[in-house]
Structure 1
Amino acid sequence: MSRFAGKKVVITGGTHGMGLDFAKALIAEGAEVLVTGRNEKNIEAARDELKENAHIVRSDAGSVSDIEALAKIVAEKFGKIDHVFLNAGLAILETIDKFTEDTFDRQYAVNTKGVFFAVKHLAPLIQSGGSITITTSVANTAGAPGMGVYGGAKAAVRAFVRVAASELVAQGVRVNAVSPGFIHTPSMGIPEATPEERAQFQALGDILTPMKRHGSMEEVTKAALFLAADATFTSGLEFTVDGGGSQGVLTPQ
């Protein structure tokens, strides 16, 4: 029997990229899925691709009022739920001399505040034995130029994963994080970058990753679904999917 047959699952940032890949994999395993997105083009594309297999809700992951409204929609459609994947994220590549209060606030709203409040409002709906899986990033610790704000926002989430795991254990809910490295997605994780900037970013990733390639969305999805359903004695973990880079794997000369 499938791990997710009959399970009710919520995915934020699920209308494109890795979140959409999560949704397709979960649907294939028999889950009833609700995905959120903010970009209208992505929402329509997801509707065309997922069709009647998913509930699609427009929701800004950085807006507390939208998150509160989302929790009400989830309760109305599903009642109790089994798994939550908090995948929505925003990265803007800016060095210290370039970032502004606006770009700082936008990244922290989506990557940090949105995650904290999504856990607050969705956790009460999760059944015992369920899970929350949050997408962080190897930028937590990498110290890569241009990722100071994004890395800081994701590092705060990594700390929160441990706290949420300890607070929700009595409810029977596990909380873990999947931490991707350089992953080949449509936006390469930097939606506001130009095609040239994305190409440079991809080339850099292939150099820095010990396996000398980008990971695939499928590889991240496998890790995220493992944490959600199979890692039943694991909570508070950040599981890296980065070709060995953050683990100090040396590249053969």
Structure 2
Amino acid sequence: MENSQKLAGKIALVTGGNSGIGLATAQRFVAEGAFVFITGRRQAELDAAVQSLGNQAFGIQGDVSKLADLDRAIAVIKEQKGRLDVLFANAGIAEFAPLDAVTEAQYDRQFDINVKGLFFTVQKALPLLPDGAAIILMASIVGIKGFEANSVYSATKAAIRSFARTLTSDLKARRIRVNAISPGPIETPGLNGILDTPEQVAQFKAQMVSAVPLGRVGDADEIAKAVVFLASDDSSFVTGAELFVDGGMAQV
């Protein structure tokens, strides 16, 4: 991994940083010179992730949909480092179901983690964010697309896109930049975990690939590199934006 140190001396938080895009981004942040706090719900996975990241990372077990867990995470960061220069609100889940099969539990789970959890992660981090800090919100191309059996998940991601706009306005006096990143289909444990059988996963990926102009599923590190751009001074005049990293899937 090239060593450009775009985040030298920065303190970062990646929620849901124990796997997939979150872990890939934490790896990039460390490589670019940042100290990274990661959160995750599963302790064993969190420990393994921290071990892979090395001594420039620290894991905090917690669920973003539980505000007490968020308070605890922010308290740990305040005690250890005293500030937070970069926040990547990445934690999220996807559950697909046709309209007539969506349950209240599925609805609540996705909105609690993807929307409520993300919003209060940002709110509770604010006291630690210096003026000029960077916030990146994990959205998705589903926020502007109408895929079948995606109603609730897509609505959560559309809400996140909206937050990138409104929070930019709320925080403009402090020059805190807020941007959303919207991946297309990416090879992650999350993608493989939302379908029941390997055959279904293969079929789903084949469908996705056929709709991507670049002709393939993306890699988590390709998202991570784009997050580094939004976290660093390379994007110093970018705020309120949605950066699509989707192989063209939602663009043509």
Q: Does the alignment reach a TM-score above 0.5?
A: yes
Q: CA deviation at 1:51?
A: 3.4
Q: CA deviation at 1:196?
A: 3.2
1:22-47 CA-partner distances (Å, limit 9, x unpaired):
11111111111100000233213213
Query: What letter corresponds to residue 90 of structure 1 in structure 2?
Result: I
Cα distance between partner residues in 1 of 2:58 and 2:237: 30
Which of 142, 146, 161 aligns to 1:158? It is 161
Query: What letter corresponds to residue 119 of structure 2 in structure 1?
Result: F
Query: What letter corresponds to residue 249 of structure 2 in structure 1?
Result: G
Identity among equivalent positions (%) equals 38
Which of 29, 40, 62 aligns to 1:26? It is 29
Q: Could you say which residue in structure 2 is the equivalent of 1:84?
A: 87
Q: Assess if the C-alpha contact under 8 Å between 1:91 and 1:191 holds in 2.
A: no
1:162-185 CA-partner distances (Å, limit 9, x unpaired):
000111111121000110001111
Q: CA deviation at 1:118?
A: 0.7
Q: Could you say which residue in structure 1 is the equivalent of 2:250?
A: 246
Which 10-residue stretch deviates more, 124-133 or 191-200? Answer: 191-200
1:47-101 CA-partner distances (Å, limit 9, x unpaired):
3312333100001021122112222111111111110001111001111011100
Q: Does 1:143 align with 2:146?
A: yes
Query: What letter corresponds to residue 9 of structure 1 in structure 2?
Result: A
Query: What letter corresponds to residue 236 of structure 1 in structure 2?
Result: G
- Runs of at least 5 residues in structure 2 that lack an aligned partner in the other structure: none
Q: CA deviation at 1:223?
A: 1.0
Q: Could you say which residue in structure 2 is the equivalent of 1:8?
A: 11
Cα distance between partner residues in 2 of 1:197 and 1:118: 34
Cα distance between partner residues in 2 of 1:149 and 1:102: 11
Which of 67, 73, 78 aligns to 2:76? It is 73
Cα distance between partner residues in 2 of 1:175 and 1:167: 10
SS in 2 for 1:9: strand
- Runs of at least 5 residues in structure 1 that lack an aligned partner in the other structure: 249-253
Cα distance between partner residues in 2 of 1:212 and 1:41: 35
| Structure-to-structure mapping, 1:131-210, within 5 angstroms | 131-188=134-191, 191-194=193-196, 195-210=198-213
Q: CA deviation at 1:234?
A: 1.1
Cα distance between partner residues in 1 of 2:23 and 2:129: 21
SS in 2 for 1:247: coil
Cα distance between partner residues in 2 of 1:64 and 1:96: 29
SS in 1 for 2:132: strand
State the TM-score, normalizing by the size of structure 1. Answer: 0.93
State the TM-score, normalizing by the size of structure 2. Answer: 0.94
Q: Kindly tell me: are residues 192 and 205 of structure 1, through their superposed partners in 2, closer, same or farther at Cα, counting changes over 3 Å?
A: closer
Give the count of matched residue pairs: 247
Q: Could you say which residue in structure 2 is the equivalent of 1:251?
A: none
SS in 2 for 1:176: strand
Q: Could you say which residue in structure 2 is the equivalent of 1:235?
A: 239
